[in-house]
Amino acid sequence: MNKKLFGDPKSITQSLVPPYIRELKVYQAGKPIDELAREKGLTRISKLASNENPLGPSPYAIREMTNALWDIHRYPDMHAYALKTALSELYDLKRENITLGNGSEGIMGYIARAFLSPGAEVLTSENTFIGFYILARSVGAHLNCVPLTKDYRYDVEAMANSIHENTKIIYIANPNNPTGTYINRQEFDQLMEHVPDHVLVILDEAYFEYANEYDDYPDSMDYRYDNVITLRTFSKAYGLSGIRVGYGFAHEDLISNLNKVKLPFEPNLIAQKGAVGALNDRPHLERTLKTNSKLLKECVTFLKEKDFDPISSITNFVTIKTGTPQASDDLFNMLLDKGVIIRPLKANEMPEFIRISIGTEEEMAHFYQAMEEILPKYNDLHGRA
């Protein structure tokens, strides 16, 4: 008996899939280490592409996750009591003000499901986190993207002037990914003066821990507007990218409505336990921030010495302009051949830029060595002195 084959995929797509889904582009993650090892046969690989914590997770988090393995036949606590309690104590909130998700992107997805509909307008910036673009478009929302300023920062004045009666959500990544720049307190205050009550402001603070040492950084927990939801994550400074756990803070009415569309039992058992362990290891977080600060400065100095002009960043990555899309592709591929993975920014509509995550001292030394080896050829190809 012959198995029936699937029919013409185009016909089923046309009849079942909405046009705003058909037009979406799939999110592209940084190149995995194993994939590069298979392709190139390399044994020394440094991944500087996904803004991960190169020091890894806290030993406390590992202990909690390991102990939890004996209970994975049980469903996790649907209300995540222990994790919400730890967060409420750290940030002086009620548990009712907290929501959790499969990374902060998971919570963004629930926000899109709960508060957006086809034709609704989202106001944001060009050259910001593309994951949110995808989520907003996936529900048929219209994106109104304001260009960045000449120094690659959010244009707050232009955003304020772009708010109108159809604006439903304003999305701000602060600090911004992939530029590493940020909106300061004065700018945030200026923007919020123009935001009406019917507009929800999403503050994506995935890199909050790195930015919080700057006096003029507007920690949203110092404001607590009723129409603002703050998103943070354990994927960056806490070193838990692999278990996908994010959290959000907002007015309890917003949170209760988000929870209506949220999947039950999320985050999973291991993620909840690991996040609590990470919060209990303040010294690991402090080592992370201290190491990153030192190595970020060294990386910026190196890049400037090589006649690149890094965008000023307060995160755990730095972005440089290569000048052309071809120059970006060449730099990316030449470094791949040396076992160094960086991030081209074509998907962010910045094809003439590349982004470099800050790794360990050994990984950064690998990057510097690889750059020294490839730059003579790269400079000749692209007319650099």
Q: What's the CATH code of the domain at 38?
A: 3.90.1150.10
Same domain for 225 and 153, yes or no, is: yes
Asked, for residue 13, whether it belongs to a domain, the answer is no
Asked, for residue 267, whether it belongs to a domain, the answer is yes
Of 259, 280, 301, the last residue of a domain is: 280
Q: Which domain does 130 fall in, by range?
A: 59-280
pLDDT of residue 4: 63
Place of tokens 């919080």: 212
Same domain for 86 and 34, yes or no, is: no
Asked, for residue 11, whether it belongs to a domain, the answer is no
HSE-up of residue 384 (Cα within 13 Å, Cβ side): 17
Structure tokens at 251: 């007015």
**What confidence category does residue 358 fall into, taking pLDDT thresholds of 50, 70 and 90?**
very high
Q: Is the predicted pLDDT of residue 31 greater than 70, yes or no?
A: no
Q: In total, how many domains does the chain have?
A: 2
Q: Is the predicted pLDDT of residue 364 greater than 70, yes or no?
A: yes
Beta bridge partners of 232: 247
Same domain for 169 and 302, yes or no, is: no
Same domain for 78 and 50, yes or no, is: no
Beta strands in the chain (DSSP E): 46-47, 98-101, 121-125, 142-146, 167-173, 200-204, 228-233, 246-249, 317-321, 340-341, 343-344, 353-357
Q: Contact 170/128 with Cβ under 8 angstroms? A: no
Asked, for residue 18, whether it belongs to a domain, the answer is no
Asked, for residue 336, whether it belongs to a domain, the answer is yes
Asked, for residue 241, whether it belongs to a domain, the answer is yes
Of the listed ranges 197-201, 222-226, 372-376, the one predicted with least confidence: 222-226
pTM here is: 0.91
Same domain for 104 and 159, yes or no, is: yes
Amino acid identity of residue 337, one-letter, is D
